[in-house]
């Protein structure tokens, strides 16, 4: 299929979807309008049922907890498939040497960029942890915080270069985070059954409403999501970067070790 034909098909698809998108946007409620009945029901039962103030987390881990578990394993399967495809040609090996296109100069990294990344990187990671830990109290949660934490590793790459970033990031650590996080979430569903409770039924103290340590089992489920998302997205960054590496060996023209 030629690129021109692909663009034509894409344009036709967008035109077909445009009326539906316009109708959906046109029927959105105005800002500040009355909350729908579903939202009012959630607001009424969440504080008493799970002692949480973040209604989105209550929906994710309680109302539709099994769906969220399925989505977590869909993410795990997607990342695993991507890693397998990317490693299929180059194998399992990795290196800290960068490839450089012939005729394109390798500009030195700006000291301002290094300083900015070294200052903002730890702050971004701290904010990611804050979003993860406050999932039961304020907007956010394991998925959002996990993505922020993974983004923080990218600042380390921009500030220190690939070699420095690769020294701090290990693929097997990321594998353990991704798989272990998904397993932890699954065990939150299976463990209650060992004591006679239903699948994913809370068996821990609920804690105090509007407290960080509220929500009972939701805290463990949220931690599992954060580990899986952070490990998974960082693993994707790593694999895409490895696609631009060259095998270990003597320095050759066109390569740069920076």
pLDDT digit string, tens, across residues 38-83 = 888 888 888 888 888 989 888 988 888 889 889 889 999 999 898 8
DSSP code for 109: P
- Residue 201 in any domain: the answer is yes
Task: Note the pLDDT of residue 42.
Answer: 87
- Residue 74 in any domain: the answer is yes
pTM as predicted: 0.76
Number of domains in the chain: 1
Q: Is 88 exposed, middle or buried (0-12, 13-18, 19+ CB in 10 A)?
A: exposed
Does the pLDDT of residue 255 top 90, yes or no? no
Domain that holds residue 226: 39-88+109-246
* Mean pLDDT value of segment 115-126: 91
- Residue 212 in any domain: the answer is yes
Task: Note the pLDDT of residue 244.
Answer: 62
- Residue 94 in any domain: the answer is no
Burial 145-162 (b: 16+ CB within 10 A, else e): bbbbbbbbbbbbbebbbb
């Amino acid at each position: 299929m030629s690129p021109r034909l692909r663009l034509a098909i894409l344009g036709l698809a967008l035109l077909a979807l445009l009326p539906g998108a316009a109708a959906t946007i046109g029927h959105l409620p105005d800002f500040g309008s009355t909350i729908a009945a579903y939202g009012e029901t959630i607001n009424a039962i969440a504080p008493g049922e799970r002692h949480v103030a973040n209604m989105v987390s209550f929906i994710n881990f309680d109302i539709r907890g099994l769906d969220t578990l399925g989505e977590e394993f869909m993410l795990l399967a997607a990342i695993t498939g991507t890693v397998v495809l990317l490693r299929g040609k180059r194998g399992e090996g990795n290196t800290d040497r960068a490839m450089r296109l012939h005729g394109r100069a390798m500009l030195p990294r700006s000291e301002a960029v290094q300083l900015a990344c070294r200052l903002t990187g730890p702050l971004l990671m701290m904010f990611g942890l804050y979003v993860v830990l406050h999932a039961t109290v304020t907007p956010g949660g394991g998925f959002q915080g996990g993505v922020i934490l993974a983004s923080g590793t990218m600042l380390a790459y921009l500030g220190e270069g690939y070699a420095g970033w690769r020294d701090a990031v290990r693929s097997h650590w990321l594998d353990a985070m991704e798989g272990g996080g998904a397993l932890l979430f699954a065990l939150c569903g299976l463990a209650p059954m060992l004591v006679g409770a239903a699948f994913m039924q809370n068996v821990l103290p609920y804690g105090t409403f509007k407290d960080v340590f509220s929500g009972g089992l939701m805290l463990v489920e949220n931690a599992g999501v954060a580990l899986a998302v952070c490990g998974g997205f960082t693993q994707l960054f790593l694999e895409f970067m490895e696609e631009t590496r060259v095998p270990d060996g003597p320095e050759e023209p066109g390569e740069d070790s920076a």
